[in-house]
Amino acid sequence: MIYAIAILSPLAGCLLAGIFGRRFGDTYAKIVTIGFMILAALCAEISLSQVLFAEQPPEPVILATWFDIGGFRLDWALRRDTLSSAMVAMVAPVATLIHIYSVGYMAHERRSFRFFAYLSLFTFAMLMLVTANNLVQLFFGWEGVGLASYLLIGYWYDRPSANRAAMKAFIVNRVGDLFFALGIALVFQLFGSVEFPVIFAHIPDHQDALYHVLGHTWRAYEVIGFLLFIGAMGKSAQLGLHTWLPDAMEGPTPVSALIHAATMVTAGVFLMARMSYIMESAPGALTFVMLIGASTCIFAATIACVQNDIKRVIAYSTCSQLGYMFMAAGAGAYQASVFHLITHAFFKALLFLCAGSVIHAMSDEQDMRKMGGIWRMVPWTYTCMWLGSLAIAGIPFFAGYWSKDAILEATWASHNPLAGYGYLMGVLAAFLTAFYSWRLIIMTFHGTPRADKHTMEHVHESTPWMVAPLVILAFGAVFAGWLLHGWFIGEDQAEFWAGAIHVGANNHVLHDMENIPSIIGLLPTITGVLGIALAYVMYMLVPSLPGRLASTFQPIYQFLLHKWYFDELYDFLFVRPIQRLARVLWHVGDEKLIDGMPNSAAALAAGGSAQVVKIQTGSIAVYAFTMLIGLVVLISIFLLFR
């Protein structure tokens, strides 16, 4: 019951705000959505504690039957294992904080009820996603968060760039979704069900099932795992399907914090953990996961080092951190990946909200080259930004330290063929992470003010509406790792997860990672500190150094600045050929052939229509005769063909 309230109250808030917001105004919408979100957050925490202290994993909460056609039955049900409950307990409070923050951030917007309704809609869809008890409901939530993300990225629909970014996000995600849907279809074909309990119970039965794809024979689990991961890549912006995430920063900053950092983009990681039963039986797919995760990790980190837009830096950082999570999944340490997911939610949401606060203070300026020298004016934001950065850089005893170290250790200890590559990339990325984080802090807050005088006069600390969530999240960024690591990856992990995450019989990663050389465990921390030092040298001590480096290594700098030319590559590979093809299809295929058919059919229909309507003269006699003739025709047909 409490669990159901936690999931459904955002929906209630969304509906009440969306339907009546226009009539009762924005204040009403804010009160309603935030009220329901607080309710949801409280219920989520209570529910998590119930799950943790229960003897047996609780049964799913069945809300209603969705479909019951023939033998195919689907319920609207809320899964209540540790994984779902933990996700709910993370999503609901973070979303609540971001609702509250938005009150301050969107204070100057008129008619912002739409914004709050969308935010609540998103939260509901996300909760639906993480509590799904079958793949179809999960897909419902998956598409629901996609829709909400689309609406929110394009919230300022009068900006063409926002509209473009919203469409880009939607379309790129469709690519991943296509594969995800295919994966669901294969699961249904294999198991005859999409309900998780059924699937998980029958995993051993289909170990040898085979598919013949493209002339090769594959194990069914490999194919399914591969397809599911491509779906996850789209949602979690992994290398290849990452291009939408930086553009999505067109949305209001709270949206970036909630959707594009803390929750939605981690849905892919969640999917890996949720489907750990299948992934564990698909070592080939896991290798691929490791490859993509590690590559994304380093790739995004390099780009983040040269970006100048404060939100884009954090966006690429998100991309990179998601790469870490997938690395952990690839190593078989799903627990570690979910752990990083949770800690990351705190510190990344914190970083984004701090960035939002800065942007607010700088009169909507996002370019770091036009900031600087404001750290005394925004002490709260500055402090929180520091705490968030310490967490993300993996400085000991902050949240990120526990989870990131666990991931790297697990990667080292795993039997994945690409484990070495993953570890190397991970350590390098840890160095870069620390570097770009302090580059951001120094460029934004220190040095000489580079903004114009007018802007500088208006720099001010944000309202309590915005600062309070920062402080609360900062607590999470500092303590979450220390508090939770025992449960998530420590000695208590087996009881904690209680079967929510499956590890194969040969998978001892979590155990093995305790027994690795100590230098391996220390390396990420060392590189992190080195990264900070480098950033300090380059941007604080010798501020001319970055410019000189950039001109010396012009090609590399340009390569990174243009994000490895991915957008240009896609433009060349897909967009333009498709546009050309589309033009051909449009002019030849569509206008001549396809339009030709319906047009002539339409002409035919219109002609028929004219004929049919012709007898509609309005004369009763004609109508009566039509009826009688019809009757006679029917009787004749009857007598003749009986």
Partner 1 sequence: MIAAIAFYVFAAVLIGSAALVVSSRNPVHSVLFLILAFFNAAGLFLLAGAEFLAMVLVIVYVGAVAVLFLFVVMMLDVNFDQMREGVQRYAPIGAAVGAVLFLELIVTVAGWQFVPNVTLHLASATPAGVTNTAALGHLIYTDYIFLFQAAGLILLVAMIGAIVLTHRERGASRRQNIGVQQARTMANTLEMMTVAIGAGSRQTGILRPLPPPARPLDDHDDHGHGGHDDGHGHDDHAHAGGH
Partner 2 sequence: MINQNWILALPEIVLAICAMAILVFGVLWKRSNPSFPCAMLALASLLLAGVLALSAPLGSAYGGLFAVDHFAVFMKLLIVAGAGLSLILSIDYNVQTGIDRFEFPVLILLCTVGMMIMASATNLMSLYIGLELQSLSIYVMASFNRDDLRSSEAGLKYFVLGALASGLLLYGASLAYGFNGSMDFAQLRAGLTSTNPPAGLVIGIVFIVAGLAFKISAVPFHMWTPDVYEGAPTPVTAFMSTAPKVAAIALLLRALEVPFGHLGQSWTQLVVLVSIASMLLGSLAAIGQTSIKRLMAYSSIGHMGYALIGLATNSQAGIQGVLVYMVTYVFMSAGVFACVIAMRRQGLALEKISDLSGLARTDPMLALAFAIFMFSMAGIPPFSGFFGKLYVFYAAVQAGYWTLAVIGVLTSVIGAYYYLRVIKVMYFDDAQPAFDARSPSLSFVAAVGALVTVLFFVFPAPIVNAAQIAASALFG
**H-type alpha helices, 236-333:** 244-247, 253-257, 267-274, 276-279, 283-304, 310-330
Choose between 533 and 602: whose C-beta lies nearer to partner 2.
602
Separation between Cα atoms, residue 212 and residue 227, nearest integer Å? 15
Q: Could you tell me the smallest distance in angstroms from the CB atom of residue 272 to partner 2? A: 28
Are the C-beta atoms of 274 and 194 separated by less than 8 Å?
no
CB under 5 to 8 A by kind: which of partner 1, partner 2, none does 608 bind?
partner 2
Q: Could you tell me the smallest distance in angstroms from the CB atom of residue 637 to partner 2? A: 7
**H-type alpha helices, 78-112:** 82-105
Asked if 628 interacts with partner 1 (CB under 8 A), we say yes
Stretch that binds partner 1, among 69-77, 428-436, 569-577, 634-642 (CB under 8 A): 634-642
Q: Could you tell me the smallest distance in angstroms from the CB atom of residue 622 to partner 1? A: 8
Asked if 157 interacts with partner 1 (CB under 8 A), we say no
213 DSSP β-pair partners: 216
Concatenate the DSSP letters of all residues of 172-211 into one string: HHHHHHHHHHHHHHHHHHHHS--BHHHHHHTGGGGTT-EE
Choose between 494 and 615: whose C-beta lies nearer to partner 2.
615
Within 565-624, the residues that bind partner 1 by CB under 8 A are 621
Largest Cα–Cα separation, the chain? 103
Choose between 604 and 632: whose C-beta lies nearer to partner 1.
632
* Residues 216, 222, 223: CA angle, nearest 5 degrees: 65
Residues binding partner 2 (CB under 8 A): 64-68, 76, 601-602, 605-606, 608-610, 612-613, 615-616, 618, 620, 622-624, 626-627, 629-631, 633-635, 637-639, 641-642
Q: Could you tell me the smallest distance in angstroms from the CB atom of residue 626 to partner 2? A: 5
- Secondary structure element (H or E) that encloses residue 78, with its range: strand 72-78
Asked if 505 interacts with partner 1 (CB under 8 A), we say no
Question: How many residues does the structure list for the chain?
Answer: 642
Q: Could you tell me the smallest distance in angstroms from the CB atom of residue 611 to partner 2? A: 9
Joined together, the tokens standing for residue 612 give 């049919």
Q: Which of 157, 553, 572, 625 binds partner 1 (CB under 8 A)?
A: 625
Stretch that binds partner 1, among 202-210, 322-330, 522-530, 627-635 (CB under 8 A): 627-635
Q: How many residues in the shown chain lie near partner 1 by CB under 8 A? A: 9
**Torsion-angle region of 394 (φ positive above 0: left; ψ -120 to 50: alpha; else: beta):** left
Phi and psi at 63, nearest 5°, equal -85, -45
Q: Could you tell me the smallest distance in angstroms from the CB atom of residue 638 to partner 1? A: 9
Asked if 635 interacts with partner 1 (CB under 8 A), we say yes
Q: Which of 69, 505, 613, 639 binds partner 1 (CB under 8 A)?
A: 639
CB under 5 to 8 A by kind: which of partner 2, partner 1, none does 603 bind?
none
Are the C-beta atoms of 356 and 254 separated by less than 8 Å?
yes
Joined together, the tokens standing for residue 448 give 């000489």
Stretch that binds partner 1, among 187-195, 271-279, 500-508, 629-637 (CB under 8 A): 629-637
Q: Could you tell me the smallest distance in angstroms from the CB atom of residue 24 to partner 1? A: 39
Q: Could you tell me the smallest distance in angstroms from the CB atom of residue 15 to partner 2? A: 11
Separation between Cα atoms, residue 268 and residue 98, nearest integer Å? 21
Choose between 63 and 633: whose C-beta lies nearer to partner 1.
633
Separation between Cα atoms, residue 376 and residue 361, nearest integer Å? 12
CB under 5 to 8 A by kind: which of partner 2, partner 1, none does 189 bind?
none
Rounded to the nearest 10 degrees, what angle do helices 464-488 and 82-105 cross at? 160
**DSSP single-letter state for residue 218:** E
**H-type alpha helices, 394-452:** 399-413, 419-445
Choose between 584 and 605: whose C-beta lies nearer to partner 2.
605
CB under 5 to 8 A by kind: which of partner 2, partner 1, none does 641 bind?
partner 2
List of residues contacting partner 1 (CB under 8 A): 621, 625, 628-629, 631-632, 635-636, 639
